[in-house]
Amino acid sequence: MKLFKKIILGSAILLAITIIVYFVYFNQIQDTDPKNMENSKNTELIEWNSKELFAVFVDPKDIAIINGQKIPMKGTFQLKPELTDTYADIGVYDRKTKPLFIIPLFTASAYSKNGFYDFYKGNCYTCLTTKIRTVDELAEQSSANAVKVLELLGYDSITDIELDKNPDILSKYDKVIVLHNEYVTKNMFDAITSHPNVIYLYPNALYAEISTNYQDGTISLIRGHGYPELEIDNGFDWEFENTNPYEYDKKCNNWEFYDIPNGKMLNCYPEQKIWKDEKFLKALKEL
């Protein structure tokens, strides 16, 4: 009888452990299907300055104080009915072939907790591989504001996951916009740099090479940003590398697009410019 009770108890404990492991494992898996990128988190947002080009709602935790000023690092944007004519002027709604921009999920992953930057800081020596993040986890470093604004203005978009899996997709578009796609695969780098009309909207794009493991939902750093040797900056040794000093100009007061052989580059980091400046968005449309 005692033996029977021990067997029953052992079986119950094994079953409990199996259930716990099952749920922990599946809760950790990141869904990398672009169609399932948005989640349904309910966050209490506050309305930002009503005088802006868009209606802006911000999570209080996303407001930073920079040089004594409160700045929303990312927000939720909506069109204003009274600015319909303005949006028609700066948007691309009426175009048969709409410009395409690339959503930088890989860069969001690199900057996330237990990502590459924890490795760079010496806080984590296993963080050269990190989970692929989702669209709702985009932040200032991964062009969160630009993604939302350009979608509202009618631009087509793909994630870098889609581009990595199908690099030929860029050939269907007359104009491709690269955001802060700092971390890219060789497939992406080749597809972007061989396209004849690319707008590099953020400095520091195409900076480091990564590999992907879609079965595990991870990316791994291969080369760049001081890895595997400190003297390595751009992982592709790209001659049009434009990180310094442009990445650090966050105000973009003197923004300008300049020519390179396969398109144009911007001379500042426009994350806080793109949702405020009608002239900037008009110029982007007309490039």
Cα dihedral 247, 250, 252, 258 in deg (nearest 10): 10
Burial class (CB in 10 A: 0-12, 13-18, 19+), 238: middle
Judge whether residue 22 has pLDDT over 70.
no
CA distance 210 to 251: 30
Question: Nearest-CA neighbor of 80 among 272, 254, 278?
Answer: 278
Q: What is the pLDDT of residue 38?
A: 41
pLDDT tens for 100-137 read 999 999 999 999 999 999 999 999 999 999 999 999 99
Q: Where are the domains of the chain?
A: 93-286
Judge whether residue 39 has pLDDT over 60.
no
pLDDT classification of 25: cutoffs 50, 70, 90 = very low
Question: Nearest-CA neighbor of 52 among 70, 74, 33, 78?
Answer: 78
Judge whether residue 14 has pLDDT over 70.
no
DSSP assigned state of 228: S
Q: What is the pLDDT of residue 43?
A: 59
Q: What is the pLDDT of residue 46?
A: 85
Cβ atoms < 10 Å from Cβ of 261: 9
| Secondary structure of residue 55 in the 3-state scheme | strand
pLDDT classification of 32: cutoffs 50, 70, 90 = very low
pTM summary value: 0.83
Q: What percent of the chain has pLDDT over 90?
A: 73
The chain-wide mean pLDDT, for the chain, equals 87
pLDDT classification of 24: cutoffs 50, 70, 90 = very low
| Amino acid symbol at 14 | L
Judge whether residue 42 has pLDDT over 80.
no
Q: What is the pLDDT of residue 4?
A: 43
CATH of 93-286, one of 1.10.1240, 1.10.8, 2.40.160, 3.40.50: 3.40.50
pLDDT tens for 170-213 read 999 999 999 999 999 999 999 999 999 999 999 999 999 999 99
pLDDT tens for 228-270 read 999 999 999 999 999 999 999 999 999 999 999 999 999 999 9
Q: What is the pLDDT of residue 89?
A: 97
Judge whether residue 44 has pLDDT over 90.
no
Which neighbouring-strand residues pair with 46? 58
